[in-house]
A = this chain, B = another copy of it.
Amino acid sequence: MEREEITHRIARFPEQCRRAGLKVTHQRMAVYGMLAATDTHPTPEDVYMAIRGPLPSISLGTVYKILDQFQQHGFLRRVSTEGHVARYDANLTAHHHLICEDCGKIQDVELPGPVQEPQLPAGTRFRVSHCDILFHGRCGACAAARPTA
C-alpha cells in the first residue's frame, strides 16, 4: 500500500472509533497504526513488541483486548491459518493469502476476475459472508535458499 493511503486510513480512524462507540485512546491508535502500516500479518506478540517503543506502559493483555474489539467491529480481519497463533490483517480490500510452509511468512495476493470470489454449487444450503483462499507452499526466498528441500 502507498504511504499516502496509510496516512489517510490512520487519519480517519478516530472517527471510526467514535462511530463504533469506542474511546480514542493512545493504545488503540498505536495498535491500529502499527497494523495499517504493515503487510506482514503480525501476531499479537508482534504488535505488542512493535508498539512498546512509543508506548512502554502498554500490556500484552490490552493488545489482545484491542485486537479482539477491532475484529468484532470490522476494523481488521484475522487470517485463517493452521497454526495456533492469531495473525491479523488491516487490509480490508479483496485479496487472498500465500502461506510459506518453510518460513511462515504470509503474503497478500489478488486473483484475476471470478476466481477472486468463487461461487458455491447451486443449491448449497449455506449463506456465505466471506471467502478465504489460502495457497500453501514455498515462497520465492525459501525456494531460492534451498531449491530441493
Contacts and interface: CB of A to CB of B under 8 A. Distances in A.
Contacts of A80: 80-82, 132, 134
A98 B131 CA distance: 9
A110 B122 CA distance: 12
Given A126-B135, A131-B134, 13 more contacts: A98-B126, A100-B126, A115-B118, A118-B133, A125-B139, A125-B140, A126-B137, A127-B137, A128-B135, A128-B137, A129-B138, A130-B135, A130-B136
Interface string A26-53: 0000000000000000000000000000
Interface residues of A, number: 40
Contacts of A78: 82
Give how many copies assemble into the complex: 2
A132 B134 contact: yes
In the A-B complex, the 10 residue pairs with the smallest Cβ-Cβ separation, listed nearest first, are A125-B140, A128-B137, A132-B134, A129-B137, A84-B84, A130-B136, A115-B118, A80-B80, A78-B82, A127-B137
Interface of A: 78-82, 84-86, 98, 100-101, 107, 109-112, 114-115, 118-121, 124-140, 143
